[in-house]
Amino acid sequence: MRPTEQVCVDQERLGTLYKQLGEADAEDVVCRAMEELALRISHCDRLYRTSDWLELRKNSRSLIAIAEQVGLQKLAAVATDVMQSIDQNDEVAIAATLTRLVRVGERSLTAIWDTQDMSI
């Protein structure tokens, strides 16, 4: 059994970004954000494997800001859960929330990629 996560892109947030920056610049921001999210999610996994909790917390915190910028609220919420698990020094919760972060991250990147094909 593999859990699935429902994710969605906050179209209002994304629309505001496009209105503020214009289509070309907004697309550039979204593409860079997607790339950065993918790198940071992968980095979170590496940091977990080395038990580098301080860096994992910092990396998770940066994920929140990037995810919120492009309307990925669920991803931001799960990154917050990872930070809280680290703050509570609960290694089981860290493992569980990080696994969820990777799962939600993958689905979120797919959702925002699909949104790129639609008119905002």
User: Over the stretch 21-71, which tens digit does the pLDDT of each residue have?
Assistant: 999 999 999 999 999 999 999 999 999 999 999 999 999 999 999 999 999
pLDDT at 116: 63
Determine the Cα–Cα distance for residues 104 and 38; give it in Å rounded to an integer. Answer: 11
The pTM for the full model equals 0.89
Determine the Cα–Cα distance for residues 75 and 107; give it in Å rounded to an integer. Answer: 9
- Nearest C-alpha neighbor of 36 from the set 10, 13, 57, 67: 67
- Indicate whether 120 pLDDT > 80: no
Q: Which domains does the chain have, with CATH numbers?
A: 21-115 (1.20.120)
Q: What tokens were used for 56?
A: 């994992």
Confidence label for 77 from pLDDT (cuts 50, 70 and 90): very high
User: Over the stretch 98-112, which tens digit does the pLDDT of each residue have?
Assistant: 999 999 999 999 888
| Residue partners of 38: CB distance under 8 A and separation at least 6 | 105, 109
